[in-house]
Amino acid sequence: MAAVDSDVESLPRGGFRCCLCHVTTANRPSLDAHLGGRKHRHLVELRAARKAQGLRSVFVSGFPRDVDSTELSEYFQAFGPVASVVMDKDKGVFAIVEMGDMGSRDAALAQPQHSLRGQRLRVRPREQKAFQSPGSRALRGAAPEDSGQLLSALAEAPDVGTQMMKLVALRELSEAERQLRCLVVALMQEVFTEFFPGCAVHPFGSSTNSFDVHGCDLDLFLDLGELDEPQQVPKAPESPSLDSALASPLDPQACTPASPADSQPPTSPQDSEALDFEALSSLAPQTPDSALASEILASPQSLPPASPLQEDRGEGDPGKAPDAAEALGGEKPAGAAMLELVGSILRRCVPGVYRVHSVPSARRPVVKFCHRPSGLHGDVSLGNRLALHNSQFLSLCAELDGRVRPLVYTVRCWAQGRGLAGSGPLLSNYALTLLVVYFLQTRDPPVLPTVAQLTRKADEGERVEVDGWDCSFPRDARSLEPSANVEPPGALLAQFFFCVSCWDLRGSLLSLREGRALPVAGGQPAIFWEGLRLGPMNLQDPFELSHNVAANVTSRVAGRLQNCCRAAASYCRSLQYLRRSARGRDWGLLPLLQSSSPASLLAATPIPLPVVPFPQLCTALVRVLRDALGCQVEQGTKRPRPKAGMEEAAQGGAGKRLKLDGHGEGGEDRAEEPWGHAGDLHGEVVEEMVVEVGETVPDSAMWSPGQAGDPPGVAGHREGPDHPAQAQPRPSCASWRCALWHRTWQGRRRARRRLQQQQQREGQRGDAGAGWLATEAQVTQELARPSGGERGAGAEPLVAFMASASASEAEGMLSVTPLRDAQGLFPELHHFLQGFVPQALRQAIKQ
């Protein structure tokens, strides 16, 4: 338990953070669930195994450079069993010898003097370093400037458009980093050519699609052409240690590592290139993995089995290097065998490469690797030719209009701070980029052409078909007409947030090929593509039309995306976004790019509601909040705006009040709202709209007259000959201000059990149907009685929040936003509401 406590730290505004897994939870139940989960238990076991390996290991230096791991292993076997020997392959000046047990290690250290081939060996205990989670990339991918310097640079810009341009300049790769990646690609090309003559190594993804960031992965496509198998199958060496080179009949030197800088001068162009690579690699950012490799080059044998929970780790044991001849012997499918052969070549023939493992179960099977001199993580794929054309398409979009890159970089950075981007059920960077491209296709006039329009403009030499999909489009942006759209980047960003918040993500398929949303009826779009998997968010790949790039996104993440976009759109209508603050406050992009607190992330996470007529849903929801939970509910009231905030209110349309934490100039006006202010949420924007039950929010209320462009449609579609108008169902919305004076969400099960026991003793029989709300009301009264009975006249609530319900034909959602939370109780309350509200609504609707 002590180890668990040392891994967990309490956050100042509620919640907990697991320092081992880099995971933040909202409350104790969520923390307990995380600590008992597979990911945390795997890392705990991995840390214990690494610590045990370190304690059993000794650091050895002083041996001749031509000594290999086998000779070292034979020497130390005199003191006991040897588990593994890992050599410093690039310099050959030290080794890590892991003994089989502590007794063998102590015996080796107790020897007063060690010598091998007449040279004295220096043997000492291995230095114990802090454990680094294999999946941790906290330092990787960060810009040279930290977040504070980044925000300071953006604050000095004169307008939002300049801020977006600065963000691109600060996050994109430098010229030295691009050259470094080119050298890594050239190194891979040279090695793979020895085994697959005529092959080609093509980079794709973030490194080539014009949306690169510091530390992004190096994605490579190994194009074998018409080769089914290599001309000569190399034989793997008997020793699995990394100091042994794979003997190739094509070229004995093919697997020889590059000579170190302090060795003999280069005598060939290859040696000169290797030296240039080492000199340039000093410009690469130092990562936890590269720092670890400066002491020990981790061999596959020293690594534990990979965990399927890690994004960059595959299944199976990466330490078991297959024999290359056996890989093609027919015992495994051809694709898996070729994948393992590629992994063997990377592991044994490419200097500085370590942590090589294949991921055959991925949608596109890859071999992942780390490159120590450059600090890069990357992967090699064999059957992913479509990715090359996707990267070229995105690069073309960036060349067509100078506003594309600033908008994509800003949206990605914003999504990362809101916990929307990442692996698992979150949006990938590729999906976010396509979402921005689709938005720009739907502007009026459009900023970018549709894929179908580009296909019609492709020349004969540019017509390409890959795996049956048409990938034809012009490769030269100069052959296309520029866009007639003149909206500034800041206005496009505001319109992006608004449009995404209004799109029907589940009931339509966002098609970049058509530049419009294809309606989904009966679980399938009007045009059927075999293999297309639909879900809460549907975003079609521009070329592989049967691929939904957002198929992994869950309903909760999709709802949180739209809630976050709704709050961001409200902020973008304020003067704080449009004008630089004269008082030195954060303005423009700064509030959008700052990371959200756990409470704000919870507020953006919707709670699913039953699909029933909206008036009936609102009536039941009010009964649950007021009667069953004991909330004071204000409904259908609109309060006057503070005088000092009239300019900001004018940007939001009628019926809205935008509140910015700690920045309201009319501080004295807060007395008018004793429990309904947002002053407890740092840097968060809370949009408050109190409407009558069943009132539908009009588009005019979501659009500011001062914004550039016309008010967008709910689905963001253009009307015209190619895009006929389509009637889109508009979701119904309603909001209530709620307050709680007692912790009625805690101990309800125990209180309910006491009431049931009391009713049984008194001979009463509860009505399971009509009396459900009455029973919950009694539970609430029982919980409120010990904490002080009725509240005083001037007492302030423990928690005040805004409950906003929305419903469409497919689903209903409830968003709960904190207004007052002085004691940090909102995360616990939100966790309770996630399970209580859906169940309570089902009971209330039955009555």
448-501, pLDDT tens digit by residue? 999 999 999 999 889 999 989 999 999 999 999 999 999 999 999 999 999 999
**What residue type is 506 in one-letter code?**
R
**pLDDT at position 777, please?**
86
Residue 661 has pLDDT above 60, yes or no: no
- Mark out the alpha helices in 471-532 (DSSP H runs): 489-502
Q: Which of 15-29, 58-72, 148-162, 239-253 has the lowest mean pLDDT?
A: 239-253
Strand partners, 648: none
Other C-beta atoms closer than 10 Å to the C-beta of 533 total 10
CA distance 554 to 179: 39
Q: What is the DSSP letter of 750?
A: H
**pLDDT at position 114, please?**
92
Q: Which of 9-18, 222-231, 463-472, 575-584 has the lowest mean pLDDT?
A: 222-231
Q: How would you classify the pairing of strands 94-99 and 82-87?
A: antiparallel
Q: What is the DSSP letter of 796?
A: P
**b/e per residue 744-783 (b: at least 16 CB within 10 A):** bbeebeebbeebeeeeeeeeeeeeeeeebbebbbbbbebb
**What residue type is 527 in one-letter code?**
I
Q: Tokens 């609430």 label which residue?
A: 780
**pLDDT at position 653, please?**
34
CA distances from 434 to 68, 127, 472, 512, 515 (A): 51, 47, 18, 8, 11
Higher pLDDT, 250 or 487: 487
Q: What is the rounded average pLDDT of the residues 63-81?
A: 88
Residue 578 has pLDDT above 90, yes or no: no
CA distance 549 to 764: 57
Burial class (CB in 10 A: 0-12, 13-18, 19+), 634: middle
**pLDDT at position 147, please?**
62
**pLDDT at position 454, please?**
95
CA distance 54 to 649: 62
Q: What angle do CA 598, 581, 800 make, to 5 degrees?
A: 35
- Mark out the alpha helices in 608-747 (DSSP H runs): 614-623, 646-650
**pLDDT at position 378, please?**
94
Do residues 547 and 511 make contact, with C-beta atoms less than 8 angstroms apart? no
Could you tell me what percent of the chain has a pLDDT over 70?
Answer: 69
What is the distance in angstroms between the CA of the first residue and the CA of the last residue of the chain? 47
Q: How would you classify the pairing of strands 114-116 and 94-99?
A: unpaired
CA distance 115 to 123: 10
CA distance 496 to 27: 33
Q: What is the rounded average pLDDT of the residues 595-618?
A: 79
Sheet of 16-18, strand order: 8-10, 16-18, 23-25
Which tens digits make up the pLDDT trace of 607-650? 888 888 888 888 889 889 988 888 989 865 444 333 333 233 33
Residue 286: half-sphere exposure toward Cβ, Cα within 13 Å: 5
Question: Residue 832 — very low, low, confident or very high, per pLDDT cuts 50/70/90?
Answer: confident
- Mark out the alpha helices in 306-384 (DSSP H runs): 324-327, 334-349
Question: Residue 131 — very low, low, confident or very high, per pLDDT cuts 50/70/90?
Answer: confident
**pLDDT at position 517, please?**
93
- Mark out the alpha helices in 208-333 (DSSP H runs): 269-280, 288-293, 324-327
**What residue type is 774 in one-letter code?**
A
Q: What is the rounded average pLDDT of the residues 35-56?
A: 88
Higher pLDDT, 331 or 368: 368
Residue 516 has pLDDT above 60, yes or no: yes
Do residues 296 and 57 make contact, with C-beta atoms less than 8 angstroms apart? no
CA distance 781 to 742: 10
Residue 791 has pLDDT above 80, yes or no: no
Question: Residue 4 — very low, low, confident or very high, per pLDDT cuts 50/70/90?
Answer: low
CA distance 765 to 705: 60
**pLDDT at position 429, please?**
94
Token couple for 711: 């008010």
Which tens digits make up the pLDDT trace of 732-746? 788 899 999 888 888
Residue 560 has pLDDT above 60, yes or no: yes
Residue 669 has pLDDT above 80, yes or no: no
Strand partners, 200: 223
CA distance 536 to 538: 7
Which tens digits make up the pLDDT trace of 261-281? 333 333 333 333 333 444 444
Q: What angle do CA 274, 278, 279 make, to 5 degrees?
A: 115
Task: Determine the 3-state secondary structure of 455 from DSSP.
Answer: helix
Q: Which of 85-89, 306-310, 815-819 has the highest mean pLDDT?
A: 815-819
**pLDDT at position 664, please?**
37
Which tens digits make up the pLDDT trace of 207-221? 999 999 988 999 999
Higher pLDDT, 154 or 410: 410
Cα torsion 351, 356, 360, 364: sign: negative
Question: Residue 764 — very low, low, confident or very high, per pLDDT cuts 50/70/90?
Answer: low
Higher pLDDT, 295 or 783: 783
Q: What angle do CA 78, 81, 86 make, to 5 degrees?
A: 95
Q: Tokens 């039953």 label which residue?
A: 610
- Checking 118-123 for CB contacts under 8 A at 24+ apart, the result is 119/62, 119/63, 119/64, 120/62, 121/60, 121/61, 121/62, 121/63, 122/60, 122/61, 122/62, 123/58, 123/59, 123/60
* Closest to 249 (Cα-Cα) out of 238, 235, 270: 235
Phi, psi (degrees; rounded to nearest 5) at 173 = -65, 145
**pLDDT at position 398, please?**
95
Phi, psi (degrees; rounded to nearest 5) at 561 = -60, -45
Question: Residue 353 — very low, low, confident or very high, per pLDDT cuts 50/70/90?
Answer: very high
* Strands (DSSP E) found in 75-231: 82-87, 94-99, 114-116, 119-125, 200-204, 218-223
Higher pLDDT, 548 or 773: 548
Q: Which of 421-430, 699-708, 822-831 has the lowest mean pLDDT?
A: 699-708
Residue 139 has pLDDT above 50, yes or no: no
Sheet of 516-521, strand order: 524-525, 516-521, 508-511, 539-540
**pLDDT at position 514, please?**
93
Do residues 830 and 816 make contact, with C-beta atoms less than 8 angstroms apart? yes
Higher pLDDT, 413 or 24: 413
Q: Which of 329-338, 369-378, 780-789 has the lowest mean pLDDT?
A: 329-338
What is the chain's mean pLDDT, rounded? Answer: 74
**pLDDT at position 260, please?**
34
Which tens digits make up the pLDDT trace of 799-821? 898 888 887 766 788 888 888 88
Question: Residue 523 — very low, low, confident or very high, per pLDDT cuts 50/70/90?
Answer: low
Element (H, E) at 804: strand 799-807
Higher pLDDT, 294 or 844: 844
Q: Tokens 């650091």 label which residue?
A: 59
CA distance 606 to 830: 10
Q: What is the rounded average pLDDT of the residues 102-118?
A: 91
Which tens digits make up the pLDDT trace of 685-723? 333 333 333 333 333 333 333 333 443 333 344 444 344
* Strands (DSSP E) found in 100-174: 114-116, 119-125
